[in-house]
């Protein structure tokens, strides 16, 4: 088991050893600033609505039982609305936010904000109804009915709540596992309906919303920002880019083991803005099922005019790719993701990928500027490794160090193959990457496997900000 660093690196045929230091980390620092600003903005908005609740008499109302319930119910309603609108903004693929957070972090933040705003919403419904029932629990169900049928906008709000309940329940891991992805995704879109249907009752019965010009401006501003962001970056921009690039399939190549590569080229002179390691959501206009978008990472460094993806057949969408004909039109959303040069802050890099998870790392191994020996790639695989010839060529031409890790997964909780005997993951990491703490490490593969890799890298001393993980959702 030879340390990656000790592997002899043949003199690369490409003599130029690129200088990587000048702006290394500049974008990563900018992104860290953006993430902090988003965090501060969300907290500031939560404090602002709480301040308005306090100045609106919220605290005084806590002196009575029923008024206290109602007042706390108003506060949780305000916090739930605020978080729900930021939830929509976070998932609107606003470029500066998407680039700074990346897929994994956005998904984690989305779950946290989603469950928190949902819990606050349930507290809002329960407390405000209990308060309106004069604090009498037994009368609360009846009061809920009265509120729903008598108060303006409440029937819509009830429908909105039903949508959000469905979205949250189907997103609980146990439920999601039982659903086909497209069914889950379709139901998830009801979240927008849920948020939209809540608005009328806030305007018509929510005294906190329109009590002052500042509050009106705040809430309307947030609503309009959400609606415009979703429209601009989830609808208009993808359509505009797809029309501008006019991407078409130029070829499908068998890679073995139920894996195919799809080559696409742009029919226009416009250069496509994408970086190695990023992914797009693709829709191939090849007949039934085209409306379903699938995220696939670029498996070669993009040159502005053509793209390559490499896909493992795991279901009907991915299996349909091998039947694609040259000339098939392609619609794209993206590029997305932060598993790209953007996240790099160090000269030395390690790329660790399992199975088809090596696709974005293969692109990074081609695109990253590095001197021989500065970048190592560890490829875990069963059956045949992917891109063997290409990685060997990069090893010869660029001094990429490659380690092949064949074999089935050894045991739950370990990311190593069954050929590794009983060496523990952390010892293996420390041996292969003795300088792991001085590197940026990019990890991609199935979710549970990627979690095990991340755990062992952290235990081996890799700082969290230098760990860049993307999983393929399964």
Ligand X SMILES: Cc1cc2nc3c(=O)[nH]c(=O)nc-3n(C[C@H](O)[C@H](O)[C@H](O)COP(=O)(O)OP(=O)(O)OC[C@H]3O[C@@H](n4cnc5c(N)ncnc54)[C@H](O)[C@@H]3O)c2cc1C
Query: Does residue number 395 form part of the binding site for ligand X (CB under 6 A)?
Result: no
Q: For the CB of residue 282, give the shortest distance to ligand X in the complex, in Å.
A: 9
Pick the binder of ligand X from 74, 241, 294, 468 (CB under 6 A). 294
**Comparison of 128 and 168: residue with beta carbon closer to ligand X:** 168
Q: Give 26 or 323: the residue with its C-beta nearer to ligand X.
A: 323
Choosing from 52, 53, 209, 472, the residue that interacts with ligand X (CB under 6 A) is: 472
Q: Give yes or no for residue 448 binding ligand X (CB under 6 A).
A: no
Q: Is 282 in the site for ligand X (CB under 6 A)?
A: no
Bridge partners of 376? 350, 401
Q: Which range binds ligand X by CB under 6 A, 247-255, 343-351, 374-382, 465-473? A: 465-473
- Report yes or no: 429 and 460 within 8 Å, Cβ to Cβ: yes
- In whole angstroms, how close is the CB of 103 to ligand X at the nearest point? 5
Instruction: Pick one of 81, 297, 395, 466: the residue that binds ligand X (CB under 6 A).
Output: 297
Tell whether residue 442 is a contact of ligand X (CB under 6 A).
Answer: no
* Phi, psi (rounded to 5 degrees) for 97: -80, -45
Site for ligand X in 152-211 (CB under 6 A): 180-181
CA distance 445 to 382: 13
Compare residues 297 and 414 and give the one whose CB is closer to ligand X. Answer: 297
Q: Does 381 bind ligand X (CB under 6 A)?
A: no
Counting contacts by CB under 6 A, is residue 474 touching ligand X? yes
Binding of residue 401 to ligand X (CB under 6 A): no
Residues 319-378 touching ligand X, rule: CB under 6 A, are 337, 356, 359
Give least dist CB 259 to ligand X, A: 7
The 250-279 site mask, x for binding ligand X (CB under 6 A), equals -----------------------------x
Q: Give the residue, chosen from 315, 383, 407, 419, that forms a contact with ligand X under the rule CB under 6 A.
A: 315
CA distance 466 to 58: 44
26 vs 180 by CB, closer to ligand X: 180
Q: How many CB atoms lie within 10 A of CB 146?
A: 14
Part in contact with ligand X (CB under 6 A); list of ranges 12-20, 214-222, 364-372, 466-474: 466-474
Q: Which is nearer to ligand X, 61 or 366 (CB)?
A: 366
The residue within the footprint of ligand X, chosen from 317, 335, 353, 445 (CB under 6 A), is 317
Q: How far is the CB of 301 from ligand X (least distance, A)?
A: 14
Residues lying near ligand X in the complex (CB under 6 A) are found at 103, 180-181, 279, 293-297, 309-312, 314-318, 337, 356, 359, 470, 472-474
């Amino acid at each position: 088991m030879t340390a990656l660093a000790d592997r002899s690196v043949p003199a690369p045929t490409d003599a130029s050893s690129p200088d990587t230091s000048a702006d290394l980390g500049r974008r990563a620092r900018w992104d860290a600033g953006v993430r902090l600003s988003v965090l501060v903005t969300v907290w500031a908005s939560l404090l602002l609505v709480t301040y308005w609740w306090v100045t609106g008499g919220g605290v005084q109302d806590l002196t009575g039982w029923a008024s206290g319930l109602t007042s706390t119910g108003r506060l949780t309603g305000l916090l739930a609305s605020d978080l729900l609108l930021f939830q929509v903004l976070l998932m609107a693929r606003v470029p500066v936010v998407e680039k700074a957070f990346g897929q994994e972090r956005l998904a984690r933040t989305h779950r946290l904000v989603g469950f928190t705003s949902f819990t606050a919403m349930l507290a809002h419904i329960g407390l405000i109804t209990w308060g309106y029932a004069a604090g009498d629990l037994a009368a609360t169900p009846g009061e809920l009915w009265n509120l729903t049928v008598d108060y303006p906008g409440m029937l819509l709000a009830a429908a909105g709540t039903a949508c959000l309940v469905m979205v949250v329940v189907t997103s609980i891991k146990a439920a999601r596992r039982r659903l086909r992805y497209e069914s889950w995704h379709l139901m998830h879109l009801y979240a927008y309906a849920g948020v939209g249907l809540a608005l009328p009752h806030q305007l018509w019965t929510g005294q906190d919303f329109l009590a002052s010009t500042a509050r009106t401006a705040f809430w309307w501003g947030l609503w309009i920002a959400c609606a415009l962001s979703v429209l601009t970056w989830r609808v208009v921009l993808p359509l505009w880019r797809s029309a501008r690039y006019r991407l078409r399939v130029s070829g499908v190549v068998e890679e073995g083991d139920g894996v195919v590569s799809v080559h696409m080229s742009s029919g226009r002179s416009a250069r496509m803005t994408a970086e190695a390691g990023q992914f797009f959501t693709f829709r191939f206009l090849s007949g039934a099922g085209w409306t379903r978008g699938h995220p696939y990472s670029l498996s070669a460094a993009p040159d502005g005019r053509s793209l390559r993806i490499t896909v493992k057949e795991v279901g009907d969408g991915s299996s349909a790719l091998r039947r694609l004909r040259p000339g098939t039109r392609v619609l794209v959303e993206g590029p997305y993701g932060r598993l790209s040069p953007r996240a790099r802050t160090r000269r030395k890099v390690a790329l660790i990928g399992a199975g088809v998870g090596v696709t974005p790392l293969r692109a990074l191994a081609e695109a990253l500027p590095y001197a021989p020996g500065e970048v190592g790639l560890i490829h875990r695989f069963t059956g045949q490794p992917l891109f063997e010839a290409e990685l060997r060529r990069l090893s010869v031409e660029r001094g990429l160090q490659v380690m092949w890790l064949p074999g089935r997964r050894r045991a739950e909780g370990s990311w190593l193959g069954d050929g590794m005997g009983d060496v523990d993951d952390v010892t293996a990491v420390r041996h292969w990457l003795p300088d792991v703490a001085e590197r940026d490490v990019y990890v991609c593969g199935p979710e549970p496997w990627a979690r095990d890799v991340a755990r062992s890298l952290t235990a081996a001393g890799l700082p969290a900000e230098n760990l860049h993980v993307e999983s393929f959702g399964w």
